[in-house]
A and B are shown apart, each in its own frame.
Chain A
Amino acid sequence: MLKHPTDSARRDKEDALRHLAIATGLLAATQAAADTPVLSVYTYDSFNTEWGPGPAVEQAFEETCGCDLQFVTAGDGASVLSRLRLEGARSEADVVLGLDTALIGAARESGLFAPVTVKADYALPIPWQDPEFVPFDWGYFAFVGLKDGPMPTSFVELAESDASVVIQDPRSSTPGLGLLMWVKQAYGDAAEDIWEELADNIVTVTPGWSEAYDLFLDGEADLVLSYTTSPAYHLIAEGDDSKIALPFEEGHYMQVEVAGMLKSSDQPELAQQFLQFMVTDAFQSVIPTTNWMYPAVEPDAGLPEGYMTLMEPAKPLLMSAEEAASVRDVALDEWRRALSQ
């Protein structure tokens, strides 16, 4: 989930158009719009930006569905889930896009999601079997820094160095939660000690990935928690090879991003249709160069060239959804205790 630091200029444009339509009283236009079924997709901020996958996905899906696909953003991935739980069965969302392996447990527990059947030939590093959630991309978490900046090779080395780092809040952000799981799986009972050691390296804890990455780009910190795929963005989109992802000895935690359909949806067929569309080439082929993650299904054209240069973790880490759900509260407690010192 990588995006450029520009917010939804597109939605702004839509806003402007909508206002214009209302102002000039184009009754016919609004009438026609009212007849088109609306599919409301809740997602994280960076997905639906001018630079993110949102616009391309919307256009491609609307060509086939005869519907109006509307993205609604609500912060980072974990905030999206909170928002849904807050709204409960009254939510207007039909589909939620942008939860991940560490959140699936909590999402399932909420009882808000409906079973789906989607068939695909996944290119995931793990076998995928889930009755409710459909994967759309994946990646490894990593600290991203500058080639001529500090380059610690493990959490211990990072904690001992004076490198500054921005991370995300695990309660609102999926990368933040991923980092929590990463440290927990690598260090188990010693995780809290690692966090205590890291506390003085952490400049600030942001609510979402976007804020953290932008702080890093602004030079507020040496390192930022992001993905091994983040340097591909700078390489391909900006021709800039100065950003690198640091390989860590402990291994790298994996994230599979998923979408699901809500029980309360008033467009269940359309929602199901969208989830199936999500694993087709029209969706998957834009992922590597807009969301800057590995696609869940190999695109027909393969991966873009810059992806060949990316760091490949020697030791992938991942907890099952059940495991992640069971350690989350303990790990979160440790994290909060260590960082509030």
Chain B
Amino acid sequence: MAGRAAALAILTFLLVPLGAVFWRAGGGAMPDVHDWAAVRFTLWQAALSAVASTLLAVPVARAVARRRFPGRGALIALMGAPFILPVIVAVIGLIAVYGRGGLVNDLLGLACLPPPGDGRPRCLSVSIYGLHGVVLAHVFFNLPLAVRLILQGWLAIPAERFRLAAHLGAGPGDVQRLLEWPMLRATLPGVVLIVFAICLSSFAVALTLGGGPRATTVELAIYQAFTYDFDLARAAMLSLVQLLLVTGAGLLALRLGRTEGFGAGLDRRIDMLPPGGRALWLGDAAWMTVAALFLLLPLGAVAVRGLSGLAEMPPSVWGATGNSLAIALSATLLTVSVALALALARRGWVDLAGMAPLAASPLVLGTGLFLLINPVARPVDWALVVTLAVNVAMALPFVLRIVLPAAQEVERSYGRLADSLGMRGMARLRWLILPRMRRPLGFAAGLTAALSMGDLGVIALFSDPDKATLPLTVFRLMGAYRTEAAAGAALLLLVLSFGLFLIFDLGGRGAATR
């Protein structure tokens, strides 16, 4: 009962705003040349990001798969961190490392050429704004995901085959050709498509590092139609375009890709014999070091800059922190309850309803909700409620994928016994389901809390100077070039996101081992 009600509520929450979008988009706005440019840029940056993330992930995953060293587990855990890292925090870290005044340009600045004639010295420098910045940020987020997915592929090769290859005297080249290459050929297209689909809906990265006519994604164009042109018909039309793009890519990815995007169980011991040779060993070590630095340097930069920026934070940060915590905790409670209700319903269409939000991007939903609210109330008054609802919808598919298998397992093992004891409703939930599912529920709650805490999406559409979440406040401080204060608030956001995740996750584990 509860499951079906929850499924209907989700479908209503998705379909009514989408209906509003369809209805408003029917108003006649057709995509113009600039909208097509946004579509092209969206596809192009997503393709570049997907290919770059995947190709760079292959050597890293191979190195992790075939080497044993202290800290290997930590490296794999680090690869899971970007999933719950707030985008705005990563962007601040990336600017600190790759921006004009950042580490990389400082190093390049050391190699300035002497001035030709009477000109100023010519220095090499990289810019983080525009296409390369957007792709860089996307690789930062998706390289680790790709590594984890490809690592699964490596671990799925039966260890006996590696041993057999060693027996037969196969060198690293033969192993690559006979064992690894077929696996990669089967795995990589799916990985590319998953990353591609994720990058299609990029908003916060494009908002902060893109923006000009040359680097506008469709999600960003929706936002601009609101804030620059107040053109609701155009926003609705762009939402429709975005819906088609995301649904199309999502369906393709589902067909081609493995869907266990994250989760435990990657750190399995594998009896793969590490190939000999100093050069190969050095190569693997180099790949892993570069990947670790690529992820750690920006985080370290946020920590270092943030510590000195904590004192600079304006008091408005605390109000925003309160808002974000309230949203994150409410979203966690709601999402986990809804996912549990869906998982226990034991009906196929109910699960599917839980996956449906994958098709809608936050800004598309936000546009629909704005269209619905605007005629009857001030949308800014509903900013926090809308943010909460959209956060729940966005986290639900991930949470469901964690909760559903666990719930099925519990029902398979103990369902009949519980049935025979006449254990139903709350009693069943309290005495059977919850105690048995503490661990996945804790992990799911941690993910939701962290995702919701760090979300910078729909709130930007409904924003109001007085009503902000912590990520939006960080963004505004960046916009006002209060770099120190922004870094301080970013550090706070980082600590809260990771902290919430750890509290829930460890809470689930602690209770489970009791």
- Give bound CA distance, A82 to B482, whole Å: 25
Q: Does A272 contact B (CB under 8 A)?
A: no
Q: Does B214 contact A (CB under 8 A)?
A: yes
- Give bound CA distance, A202 to B101, whole Å: 18
Taking a contact as CB atoms under 8 Å apart, the answer to whether B214 and A210 are in contact is no
B296-322 interface code vs A (CB 8 A; 1 in, 0 out): 000000000000000000111011000
- Give bound CA distance, A106 to B165, whole Å: 74
A7: contacting residue among B33, B226, B319, B480, CB under 8 A: B480
Which residues of A sit under 8 angstroms from B416, Cβ to Cβ? Answer: none
Closest A residue, CB atoms, query B478 = A211
A140 CB, nearest partner CB in chain B, Å: 25
Taking a contact as CB atoms under 8 Å apart, the answer to whether A86 and B100 are in contact is no
Q: Does A234 contact B (CB under 8 A)?
A: no
Number of interface residues of A (CB under 8 A): 49
Which residues of B sit under 8 angstroms from A7, Cβ to Cβ? Answer: 314, 476-477, 480, 482
Which residues of B sit under 8 angstroms from A6, Cβ to Cβ? Answer: 480, 482
Taking a contact as CB atoms under 8 Å apart, the answer to whether B319 and A19 are in contact is yes
Q: Does A310 contact B (CB under 8 A)?
A: no
A15 touching B314 in the complex, CB below 8 Å, given contacts A74-B465, A204-B129: yes
A15 touching B100 in the complex, CB below 8 Å, given contacts A78-B228, A336-B213: no
Residues in B lying within 8 Å of A, measured CB to CB = 33-34, 37, 41, 100-101, 120, 127, 129-130, 211-214, 216, 224, 226-230, 314-316, 318-319, 378-380, 465, 476-477, 479-482
B100: contacting residue among A220, A340, A341, CB under 8 A: A220
Of the listed residues B34, B380, B465, the one surrounded by the most CB atoms of chain A closer than 10 A to its CB is: B465
A111 CB, nearest partner CB in chain B, Å: 13
Taking a contact as CB atoms under 8 Å apart, the answer to whether A339 and B212 are in contact is yes
Q: Does A9 contact B (CB under 8 A)?
A: yes
Residues in A lying within 8 Å of B, measured CB to CB = 5-9, 11-13, 15-16, 19, 45, 72-75, 78-79, 82-83, 85-87, 90, 148-149, 169, 171-172, 202-208, 210-211, 214, 218-220, 333, 335-337, 339-341
Taking a contact as CB atoms under 8 Å apart, the answer to whether A82 and B229 are in contact is yes
- Give bound CA distance, A45 to B213, whole Å: 23
Which residues of B sit under 8 angstroms from A149, Cβ to Cβ? Answer: 120
A86 touching B230 in the complex, CB below 8 Å, given contacts A205-B212, A207-B211: yes
A12 touching B316 in the complex, CB below 8 Å, given contacts A86-B230, A90-B378, A171-B224: yes
A9 touching B228 in the complex, CB below 8 Å, given contacts A19-B319, A339-B213, A340-B37: no
Which residues of A sit under 8 angstroms from B229, Cβ to Cβ? Answer: 82, 171
A87 touching B213 in the complex, CB below 8 Å, given contacts A172-B228, A203-B129, A219-B100: no
A227 CB, nearest partner CB in chain B, Å: 19
Which residues of B sit under 8 angstroms from A45, Cβ to Cβ? Answer: 480
- Give bound CA distance, A75 to B224, whole Å: 13
Which residues of B sit under 8 angstroms from A340, Cβ to Cβ? Answer: 34, 37, 41, 213-214, 216
Of the listed residues A7, A72, A149, A214, the one surrounded by the most CB atoms of chain B closer than 10 A to its CB is: A7
- Give bound CA distance, A166 to B120, whole Å: 20
Of the listed residues A6, A86, A208, the one surrounded by the most CB atoms of chain B closer than 10 A to its CB is: A86
8 A-B interface contacts by CB (under 8 A): A5-B482, A12-B314, A79-B228, A148-B120, A204-B211, A206-B211, A340-B37, A340-B213
Which residues of A sit under 8 angstroms from B214, Cβ to Cβ? Answer: 339-341
Known contacts A171-B228, A210-B481, A218-B100; can you find 10 more A-B pairs with CB under 8 A? A6-B482, A12-B315, A79-B227, A169-B212, A172-B228, A204-B127, A206-B211, A207-B211, A210-B479, A220-B127
- Give bound CA distance, A205 to B71, whole Å: 43
Taking a contact as CB atoms under 8 Å apart, the answer to whether A73 and B465 are in contact is yes
- Give bound CA distance, A229 to B46, whole Å: 43
The 5 lowest CB-CB distance pairs between A and B, nearest first, are A205-B212, A171-B228, A12-B314, A7-B480, A214-B481
A212 CB, nearest partner CB in chain B, Å: 10
Closest A residue, CB atoms, query B379 = A86
A15 touching B227 in the complex, CB below 8 Å, given contacts A90-B378, A204-B129, A340-B213: no
- Give bound CA distance, A16 to B318, whole Å: 10
Taking a contact as CB atoms under 8 Å apart, the answer to whether A82 and B481 are in contact is no
